[in-house]
């Protein structure tokens, strides 16, 4: 009761105070009044801003209560199995599987690679969405909101392709691989560079301390996070026979290749027949033990008719690894072209001047002259191709294609090369800047094959 009385007194005091201040307001100048209104408005704005700031974390907290149960696909897992384990009925699994095939082009999960994310709006809510993460550049979402519908949707993740420049130098006693790793070049890119330079140099024998190299390559980002590497766009290496440069170029028809700084096909190959228009007199045969004679009759190469003294050119660029004589081959030369291919030229009457073990030769350079030395019934060239240590048929073995650009493509290539060179210069000055790759080939990524 006493409290009520007190409250009544307080209310009475407040009312009289309010009436007094109202009277005061009445006496005030318009100017003062508008100033007060302005202050009140300002106060309200500050208050509103404060409220927004204060409530933002609370709003985020609502979102983050969404829970994710992520299942990594293991060997032996199937989608049915995983869905079953997470409470889906056989009937639902059947509809989901059909929809996945129909609407998202999905067939099977890959163990060790794919993940399935079961999303709930909060810890205790039913699953609202299933996300199949089946590749770095896409995911499939299954809507669990409306029962029996199970709408599936393939969502492509936008790829942001940027270019990265790395340069290095072969350290004393080091390999290209280790020096490239030291330069910060990703392993996958180093292996691509190996493949590109393999026909130009021998990574075991042509490496010297102090040789400089650089690589311009693509890095693919999704939401500012690096996902994988793209293509090598340009590479340079100070090889023994001079600086080797290669640039990637995509033709208007979408076909891509690597070309040197002049626009010539950079992927060197071997000639199947080192001497032009020569008649094959004996072809390649794998050989088998003759059932009657009991000895192996194998012909590990191809014989070409060639009068004594016919100049024999190297089938491809490489390094001479043997210049010798043996009973079978007579005088012969062996060339190593890259980590994969070697060629051998036998029955030579003589060797070309200046050709010795260790000599680096160009494609077409004369290495010797045809003859009939060794086990030979008449002058001819016996030619062998050895792929990864195994004799193969020079006439049928799959060789990298030599691809030269026509005049129009050469012009486009030179324009693109100028841009790439400018990008390299720019990244040299400021490696941190973001430059996007515009060498587009419909954004097909070799890593997501
Ligand atoms: Zn032969």
Strands (E), 148-241: 151-156, 160-169, 212-222, 225-239
CA angle 280, 282, 284 (to 5 degrees): 105
Give the pLDDT of residue 256: 87
Residue 65 vs residue 48, higher pLDDT: 65
Print the domain residue range for 105. Answer: 67-156
**How close is the Cα of 395 to the center of ligand 1, in Å?**
14
Residues 171 and 256 in one domain: yes
Measured distance CA(138)–CA(188) in Å, rounded: 22
Contact in structure between 162 and 434 (CB atoms under 8 Å)? yes
Residue 47 lies inside a defined structural domain of this protein: no
Q: How far is the CA of 363 from the centre of ligand 1 (A)?
A: 22
* pTM given for the model: 0.58
Q: Is the pLDDT score of 140 beyond 90?
A: yes
331 domain-assigned: yes
Q: Is residue 39 a contact partner of residue 46, using CB atoms and an 8 Å limit? A: no
Q: Are residues 307 and 381 in the same domain?
A: yes
What distance in angstroms lies between residue 282's CA and the mean position of ligand 1's atoms?
7
In a domain, 295, yes or no: yes
Residue 318's pLDDT band (cuts 50, 70, 90):
confident
Q: For residue 421, how far is its CA from the centre of ligand 1 (angstroms)?
A: 48
- 307 CA distance to ligand 1 middle (Å): 15
Q: How far is the CA of 304 from the centre of ligand 1 (A)?
A: 8
Q: For residues 159 and 156, what is the distance between their CA atoms, to the nearest angstrom?
A: 9
CA of 328 to the centre of ligand 1 (A): 9
- The structural domain count of the chain equals 3
Rounded distance from Cα 213 to ligand 1 centre (Å): 41
Q: What percent of the chain has pLDDT over 70?
A: 80
Among the three residues 156, 186, 205, which one is the final residue of a domain in this structure? 156
Choose between 52 and 183: higher pLDDT: 183
- Which of residues 156, 184, 219 is at a domain's end? 156
pLDDT at res. 401: 64
Q: Determine the pLDDT at residue 242.
A: 82
Q: Is a pLDDT exceeding 60 seen at residue 444?
A: no
Mean pLDDT of the chain: 83
**pLDDT-based confidence at residue 447 (cuts at 50, 70, 90):** very low
Task: Write down the pLDDT at residue 49.
Answer: 59
Classify residue 363: in a domain, yes or no: yes
pLDDT at 57 over 80: no
Domain presence at residue 2: no
Task: Please tell me whether residues 236 and 329 are part of one structural domain.
Answer: no
Q: Which residues neighbour 246 within 8 Å (Cβ) at sequence distance 6 or greater?
A: 196, 197, 234, 235, 236, 258, 259, 260, 266
C-alpha of residue 301 to centroid of ligand 1, in Å: 6
Ligand 1 centroid, distance to 302 Cα (angstroms): 6
**CATH code for position 384:** 2.70.70.10
Residue 292 CA, ligand 1 centroid: distance in Å? 23
Dist. CA 376 → ligand 1 center (Å): 8
CATH of the domain at 102: 3.10.450.350
Residue 310 predicted with pLDDT over 90: yes
Q: How far is CA 120 from CA 59, 68, 82, 115, 448, in A?
A: 17, 7, 16, 16, 29
Cα 393 to Cα 35, 122, 278, 340: the distances in Å are: 98, 66, 16, 14
Choice among 2-16, 351-365, 384-398 with the minimum mean pLDDT: 2-16
Q: In angstroms, what is the span from residue 273 Cα to ligand 1's centroid? A: 13
How far, in Å, is the centroid of ligand 1 from the Cα of 343? Answer: 13
Residue 373 · residue 347 · CB < 8 Å: yes
Q: How far is the CA of 96 from the centre of ligand 1 (A)?
A: 64
**How many CA atoms lie less than 13 Å away from 116 in the CB half-sphere?**
22
Cα(200) to centroid(ligand 1), Å: 28
267 CA from centroid of ligand 1 (Å): 29
Which segment of 22-26, 31-35, 426-430 scores lowest on mean pLDDT?
22-26
Q: How far is the CA of 374 from the centre of ligand 1 (A)?
A: 11
DSSP assignment of 373-396: -SS-SSSEEEEEEEETTEEE-TTT
Q: Specify if 8 maps to a domain.
A: no
Structure tokens at 212: 């400089």
Same domain, 168 and 257: yes
CA of 359 to the centre of ligand 1 (A): 25
Domain-located, residue 240? yes
Q: Are residues 386 and 417 in the same domain?
A: no
Q: What number is the average pLDDT over the span 40-45?
A: 68
């Amino acid at each position: 009761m006493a409290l009520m009385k007190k409250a009544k007194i307080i209310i009475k005091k407040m009312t009289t105070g309010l009436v007094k201040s109202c009277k005061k307001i009445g006496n005030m100048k318009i100017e003062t009044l508008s100033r007060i209104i302005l202050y009140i408005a300002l106060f309200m704005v500050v208050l509103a801003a404060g409220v927004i700031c204060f409530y933002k974390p609370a709003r985020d907290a609502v979102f983050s209560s969404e829970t994710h149960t992520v299942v990594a696909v293991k060997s032996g897992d199937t989608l049915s199995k995983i869905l079953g384990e997470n409470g889906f009925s056989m009937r639902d699994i059947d509809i989901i599987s059909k929809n996945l095939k129909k609407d998202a082009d999905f067939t099977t999960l890959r163990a060790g690679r794919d993940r399935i994310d079961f999303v709930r709006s909060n810890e205790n809510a039913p699953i609202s969405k299933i996300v199949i993460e089946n590749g770095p550049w896409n995911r499939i979402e299954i809507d669990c909101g409306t029962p029996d519908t199970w709408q599936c949707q393939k969502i492509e993740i936008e790829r942001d392709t940027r270019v990265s420049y790395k340069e290095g130098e072969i350290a004393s006693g080091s390999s290209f691989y280790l020096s490239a790793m030291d330069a910060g070049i990703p392993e996958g890119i180093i292996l691509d560079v190996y493949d590109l330079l393999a026909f130009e140099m021998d990574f075991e024998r042509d490496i010297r301390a102090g040789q400089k190299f650089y690589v311009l390559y693509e890095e693919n980002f999704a939401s500012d996070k690096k996902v994988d590497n793209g293509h090598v766009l340009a590479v340079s290496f100070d090889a023994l026979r001079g600086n080797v440069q290669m640039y990637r170029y995509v033709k208007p028809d979408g076909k891509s290749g690597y070309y040197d700084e002049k626009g010539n096909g950079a992927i060197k190959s071997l000639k199947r027949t080192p001497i032009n228009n020569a008649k094959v007199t004996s072809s390649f045969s794998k050989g088998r033990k003759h059932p009657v004679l009991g000895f192996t009759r194998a012909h590990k190469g191809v014989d070409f008719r060639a009068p004594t003294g016919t100049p024999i050119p190297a089938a491809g660029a490489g390094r001479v690894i043997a210049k010798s004589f043996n009973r079978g081959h007579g005088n012969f030369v062996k060339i190593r072209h890259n980590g994969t291919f070697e060629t051998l030229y036998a029955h030579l009457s003589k060797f070309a001047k200046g050709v010795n073990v260790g000599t680096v030769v160009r494609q077409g350079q004369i290495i010797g002259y045809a003859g009939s030395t060794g086990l030979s019934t008449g002058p001819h060239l016996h030619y062998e191709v050895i792929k990864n240590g195994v004799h193969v048929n020079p006439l049928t073995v799959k060789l990298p294609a030599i691809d030269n650009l026509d005049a129009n493509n050469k012009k486009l290539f030179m324009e693109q090369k100028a841009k790439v060179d400018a990008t390299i210069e720019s990244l040299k000055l400021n490696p941190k800047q973001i430059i996007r790759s515009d060498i587009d080939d419909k954004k097909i990524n070799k890593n997501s094959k």
